[in-house]
A = this chain, B = another copy of it.
Amino acid sequence: MKDKLEDLRRLLGEIFDLERARDLLEWDQSTYMPPGAAPERALQLATLSKLSHQKLISGELSSLLEDARQVTASMNPDSDDARLVQRLTRKLEKLRKVPAEWVEEKARAVSLSKQAWEKARKEDDFPHFEPHLTKMVGLIRQYTEFFPSSDHYYDPLLDDYESGMQTNHIRTVFAELLPEQVNLIREIGEREPIDASLLYQPFAERKQWDFGLEVIRKIGFDFQRGRQDISAHPYTTHFGIGDVRITTRIHPNYFGSGFFATLHEVGHALYEQGIRPDLGRTLLAEGASLGIHESQSRLWENLVGRSRAFWTWAYPRLQQIFPQQFGDLKLETFYRAINKVEPSPIRVEADEATYNLHIMLRFELELTLLDGSLQVADLPEAWNGKMQEYLGVTPPDDATGVLQDIHWSEGLIGYFPTYALGNLFACQLWQLIKADIPALEAQIERGEFGALRGWLDENLYQHGAKFLPMELVERVTGGGLSAEPYLAYLRSKFGQIYGLV
C-alpha cells in the first residue's frame, strides 16, 4: 500500500515540476526576457498552467488520493504523508466546488479588467474601471456562494490565501488594532516631524547593490541555493528548495528603496530555503500561508532591519561605502530617518506605524462591496472618507487613491488582510525569540544572526506548509493571533523615537 503513496508523490512531483517551470518563465519575464517575447511567453505560461491544472483535477490524481487517504488514515496524523494528503484534500475539495465555466469567465474578466485598471490609473479615470470592478465583485460574490456552509461569506476568500482563517477572527483583532493605531499616529503627528531628506541623495547603484548582497550574505541567505536579480517589482520566487530567488529594484537617488526591498525579500527567501529537504517537490514545499510568509519578510525588513541594534552593526559599514552622504552623520539621525512616520495615501510607501491602517481600510471596503451595502460607483468617496478617518489624509486623485493597487483588478479579494497578519505575527514571534535568546540584541549589534535564524528554522521554516497557518501560530506561540505584541512594539519603538509619554 505504501506504493500508492509513491504513485501519488510521483504525480504530485510532475505537477510541481510544471508549476515551477511556469514560475521560472515568470521570473525570466520579469528579469531578463527581451520585450519581443511577450506574446509567445503569454501562451507558454497559459499552456503550463493549463497542463498542471489538468493533472491536479484529473481522475488519476483523485483516485491516487483516495487510496492514499486510506493508507494514511492509520498513520500519525502529524506525519509528513498524512499532512500532505490532508493539504491536497483541502485543496481539491475547494477546487471541485468551483465550476470550470466560472474559472474561464473569471480569467477572461481579469484579462480585460487589468487592462482597464492600467488605463484608469494612468489617466486617473475611475469610471473607466468601474464596470470591470462591478463585474469582478459580482464574480467574487458568486465564488463565495459556491461555499454555502461558510460561517462568513468572506471566509472562502480569505481561506484561499490563509487556509482555515476566519473572518470574524480578523475583525476582532482589527477592531482592537484600529483605535490604537489611529491614536498613535495622531500623537506622532503632534510631534516635530523627522527630516528624512538625507535618504534622498544620489547613491551609486552598484554600491547599493553590493551593500545589500553583503548584508544578506551575513544574514545567511544561501547563494549556493539562490540569487538576486533586478526587476520592476521586487519579489521572491522558488523553483525548489535548492533554488530560491529574490529580486530588488534600486533607486539611484533614494537609499530606502533597494536595501529594504532586498531585506524584505530575503525574509521570504530564508523561509523557502529553510524548508526541510524531504518535503521537496510536494505541495508542502512552500510557506504555510501568505500571512506567515509576510511575517518573515516583515521580521527581517522591520524588526531586524529598522532596529537600532542592526544599524549599530551595519551603519559604520554603510558610512564607509557612502562617506560623502553618511560620513558625518550620526547613527541616531540615520536611525530616525529610516523610521520616520508620516501618513501618506500610498500603501506600498507606508511606514511601520501606518501600514496596517491601509489594510484595514481595504478589508472594510471589501466586506461592504461584497455584502452589497457599498456600490462600486460610490467606492472612491468611501475610500477617501476612510483615508481621512484612519490616516487623516485625502488622496489628491483616484490614481493615488482607490486605483493604486492592482489586486482588485485581478480579482484578488481576501488577499490584503494577509499583509496585516504578517505584521502582527512577526511581533508575536519577536516577543518569543527575545525571551528564548536574551542576547539577541547584543548579537544583532555584532552582526550575528545565527541564533535568530536557527530559532526560525527550528520553529517555523523547516515545516514548510505542513501545518495550517493558525495551527502553526498555536504550535509556536501556544496561543492564537494577537494584536498586543504588535501594539506594544509600536508604542515602545515610536514612543522612544518621537518622545511620546
> Which positions in A face B, CB cutoff 8 Å?
13-14, 17-18, 20-22, 24-25, 28, 32-41, 43-44, 47-48, 50-51, 222-227, 229, 239-243, 280-281
Contacts and interface: CB of A to CB of B under 8 A. Distances in A.
7 contacts: A14-B47, A17-B43, A17-B44, A17-B48, A24-B25, A36-B225, A40-B280
A39 B242 contact: yes
A226 B25 CA distance: 15
Contacts of A21: 21-22, 24-25, 44, 47-48
- Identify whether the interface residues of A are mostly helix, strand, loop, or mixed: helix
A37 B240 contact: yes
A44 B239 contact: yes
A243 B36 contact: yes
A456 B222 CA distance: 47
A239 B35 CA distance: 13
Contact of A13 (B38, B43, B222, B227): B43
A342 to B, nearest CB: 38
Contact of A17 (B32, B34, B47, B242): B47
A393 B296 CA distance: 63
A47 B15 CA distance: 9
Contacts of A18: 47-48, 51
A39 B34 CA distance: 28
A51 B14 contact: yes
Nearest to A46: B17
A82 to B, nearest CB: 24
A82 B261 CA distance: 53
Contact of A36 (B20, B47, B222): B222
Given A21-B44, A40-B242, 16 more contacts: A14-B47, A14-B50, A17-B44, A20-B40, A21-B24, A24-B25, A28-B28, A32-B32, A33-B243, A34-B223, A34-B224, A37-B225, A37-B239, A40-B280, A41-B240, A41-B243
